[in-house]
Structure 1
Amino acid sequence: MRNTTNIFTEIANKINTKIKNGSYSIEQKLPSEYDLAKEFNVSRLTIRKAVDLLIKQNILIKQKGKGTYIMKQTDKFQSGKNGLLSFTESARAYGKTSKATLITFEKTTQLPEEVKENLQVQEEPVFHIKRLRFFDEDPMTIEEIFIKETLLDEATLEENITGSIFKLIEEKSDIAYSHQEIEAVLATDELSEFLAVEKGQPLLLVHTTTYSASGHPILFDKSYYRGDKYTFKNILHRI
């Protein structure tokens, strides 16, 4: 017997598949709850939960008094589409594998002012990690991460240095939200070599500070993303 708490997730995935293959058109309303319940042989409550999940994922949008519509999507990988996820979790959400090549790993107190300000540290040791990240075999981003030493065991970090940093942090601290600033830059010789793009090609430089629920800074991340492969999704709803 299926776990009833997962049925609406399965239905949401099936609806999303029909959106992707064109069975449900972006120019038309989504079928009614009654019709969807009949189509998938589930209750209208299950359909309602599935639709709510797809709205949270910015796949559907509900217009009061008019119905539910499919939002226009992009072919690029969209950071933020499914909330605050690690790079590893984002890859999994797109059906991709992730891997990392280590460029730099050190524990240091010699920090740029930008890092000190965002992590609210002065002389405290901080882990500095620089990695090249891949979706499958495609280089996607060079990330430079600074993490407070108190949040990670050094031996454990070294052992898992190319894996999910979020997963390691969450063994000691909750992760609640991030603030991001995004700017456009051009690929230098070094960046073009790592990311397999031409020198001068536009990249996205993202400065991210990640916080615990209590508002304490956990991690500062300065990453370069391929502009031809990656985008940051922020849906603005008119109220």
Structure 2
Amino acid sequence: MVISIDKELIILDELMQQIIAKKFNYGEKLPSENELADKYRVPRTTIRRTFSKLEERGFIYSQRGVGRYLKGESFQVQLNLTGKTSFTEKMKQSGHPLITRNIGCRKIEYDSQIYEHLQANEEDNVFKIGRLRYIQDEPIAIHTSYINEKLFPNIAEDGSTIESMFSYYRKFDYKVFTNKDSLLSVTFPTLAEQQLLSCKSMEPLIVIESICLDEETDNVLECTKVLYRSDKFKYKISER
């Protein structure tokens, strides 16, 4: 039995392999729809769909009426996924000019999983605090922290001004932090996340979810969800 493979997927794979093998220079104009349609003996619409997929994945960009171009090489930040320092501190230590913008603080509706992670009672107030991270004026990550008001009574007022959670916790004499139950996964951005991170719908995001504790008291300080643009980071799993 002969399996028919979609011609569009073959073309997409070949162009991807050429990009990975650096057959095109950054900023170089790619062959036109007509050229590729003739080469592969397919309609122009097939090439147009292939280009759309490459653009959605963040490999190329288009200029209306001119053509498609290979995106310039993106900077990448090495990020240690372990350790006891905050993201802000890690970026400072590595010399990256990090800018953080607080994107809101609000009380959430009861969520059994979040409340369980925080060891919170159903009647407790839990607040969600979001921060958008920038390096070289590019948005690279969304950090979301869930905080129990019982542990931090002023979080409703303070939350919208916080840029570093660890710095905030130190005001309450918490000094050494540790993570547990950390999970790593991959997702694709929602429309709101696309707008915040300036990325396309098919550009994968790395998701890190964890619970942060104070090492001395074992108090659960927060549960966290971080979305990292996968094209902006190289991930170091161990410090060793």
Alignment of 1:216 onto 2:219? yes
The CA deviation string for residues 105-158 of structure 1, in whole angstroms up to 9 with x for no partner, is 1234x2322211111112212221122211241211112211122236347725
**Aligned match of 1:112:** 111
Q: Does 1:174 align with 2:175?
A: yes
Instruction: Tell me the number of residue pairs that the alignment of Structure 1 and Structure 2 aligns.
Output: 161
Provide the residue aligned with 2:92 in structure 1: 92
Matches within 5 A, 1:125-144: 125-144=125-144
Q: Residues 152 and 178 of structure 1: is their aligned pair in 2 closer, same or farther, counting only changes over 3 Å?
A: farther
Q: Counterparts of 1:60-75 in structure 2 under 5 Å?
A: none
TM-score (norm 2): 0.59
For residues 98 and 186 of structure 1, the distance between their equivalents in structure 2, rounded to whole angstroms, comes to 24
CA 1:79/1:113 → structure 2, altered by over 3 Å: closer, same or farther? farther
* Structure ranking higher on relative contact order (CA contacts 8 Å, 6+ apart): 2
Matched, 1:190 2:223: no
Aligned in 2, Cα 1:120/1:193: closer, same or farther, shift over 3 Å? same
With normalisation by structure 1, the TM-score equals 0.59
Contact 1:140–1:229 (CA under 8 A) maintained in structure 2: yes
Given that 2:100 and 2:132 are in contact with CA atoms closer than 8 Å, whether structure 1 keeps it comes out as: yes
Question: What is the CA–CA distance in structure 1 between the aligned matches of 2:137 and 2:97, rounded to whole Å?
Answer: 9
Q: CA deviation at 1:81?
A: 6.5
Give how far 1:177 is off. Answer: 0.6
Please tell me whether Structure 1 or Structure 2 has the larger radius of gyration of its CA atoms.
Answer: 2
Task: Tell me if the contact between 1:130 and 1:143 (Cα under 8 Å) persists in the aligned partners.
Answer: yes
Residue in structure 1 matched with residue 204 of structure 2 by the alignment: 202
Structure 1 residue 215 displacement after superposition: 2.4
Q: Percent identity?
A: 23
Q: Which amino acid aligns with 2:184?
A: I
Q: Work out whether residues 128 and 144 of structure 1, in 8 Å CA contact, stay in contact via their aligned partners in 2.
A: yes
Find the counterpart in structure 1 of residue 102 from structure 2: 102
Aligned-pair Cα RMSD in Å: 2.5
CA distance in 1, matches of 2:183, 2:82: 19
Task: Provide the rounded CA distance (Å) in 2 between the counterparts of 1:106 and 1:228.
Answer: 30
The answer to whether the 8 A contact 2:105-2:130 is kept is yes
1:182 is paired with a residue whose SS is strand
Counterpart for residue 161 of structure 2 = 160
Unaligned runs of 5+ in 1: 1-74
User: Deviation of residue 188 (structure 1)?
Assistant: 2.6
For structure 2, which runs of at least 5 residues remain unmatched after alignment? Answer: 1-74
Kept in 2: contact 1:185–1:203 (CA 8 A): yes
